[in-house]
């Protein structure tokens, strides 16, 4: 009776571990990528081999039956390599493929939505630069027109004053030099000859 209880104590936890492992393999492992599965398999293989060698190292040291197989080792290795090469050639030409999970679909924004903020910023900058250039151009045009009008009016005034001064002093030849000097002094603004040379 005690032996059955001891056996049950060893049997039930092992069944529980097996059930948890089965659930883990069915539910969790398929969600991993092949690289993660390969890493987990390598770690578990290393742990299992280490525990196995620790438990059975004495048996491996005392075992002698495999020493007779050393005569067949080269033939076994050559046969395994040939079979591996044949399998590789057949799978290459038969279209065999390794199942790899599909990558998630990446949704990128359309080109219109990606360029709208950039285009709007460029348009704003171009409009502000264009407005500034237009206002500077208008200001320069106004100044040039003002200077041109002032020069034109001054020239007309000078010519009127010269004509009126000459016509009033035409009978008096002695005072004609003085009246010309007075006209020149009165009209000391910009003259046509100055504008032509400038």
**From the CB of residue 159, how many other CB atoms can be counted at a distance below 10 Å?**
13
In this prediction the pTM is: 0.30
Query: CA–CA separation, 178 vs 165, rounded Å?
Result: 10
> Above 80 in pLDDT, residue 61?
yes
Question: Are 94 and 26 in contact, with CB atoms under 8 Å apart?
Answer: no
Q: Which pLDDT does position 108 carry in this prediction?
A: 63
Comparison of pLDDT for 85 and 186, the residue scoring more: 85
Report pLDDT digits (tens) over 2-57.
556 566 666 778 888 899 999 988 998 888 888 898 999 999 999 999 999 999 99
Domain ranges (residues) in the chain:
1-59, 140-167+184-198
**Phi first, then psi: what are they for 14, rounded to 5°?**
-70, -35
- Quote the radius of gyration of the chain (alpha carbons, Å): 54
Residue whose pair of structure tokens reads 């067949």 in the numeric block:
72
Q: Which pLDDT does position 64 carry in this prediction?
A: 84
């Amino acid at each position: 009776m005690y032996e059955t209880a001891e056996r049950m104590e060893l049997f039930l936890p092992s069944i529980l571990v097996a059930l948890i492992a089965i659930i883990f393999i069915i539910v969790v492992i398929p969600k991993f990528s092949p690289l993660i599965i390969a890493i987990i398999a390598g770690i578990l293989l290393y742990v299992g081999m280490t525990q196995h060698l620790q438990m059975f190292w004495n048996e491996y040291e005392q075992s002698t039956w495999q020493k007779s197989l050393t005569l067949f080792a080269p033939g076994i290795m050559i046969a395994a390599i040939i079979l591996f090469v044949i399998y590789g050639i057949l799978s290459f030409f038969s279209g065999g493929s390794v199942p790899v999970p599909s990558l998630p679909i990446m949704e990128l924004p359309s080109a219109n939505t990606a360029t709208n903020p950039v285009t709007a910023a460029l348009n704003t900058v171009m409009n502000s630069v264009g407005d500034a250039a237009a206002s500077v151009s208008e200001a320069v045009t106004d100044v040039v027109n003002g200077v041109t009008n002032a020069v034109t009016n001054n020239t007309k005034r000078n010519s009127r004053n010269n004509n009126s001064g000459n016509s009033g002093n035409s009978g008096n030849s002695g005072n004609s030099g003085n009246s010309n000097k007075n006209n020149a002094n009165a009209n000391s603004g910009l003259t046509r000859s100055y504008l032509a040379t400038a």
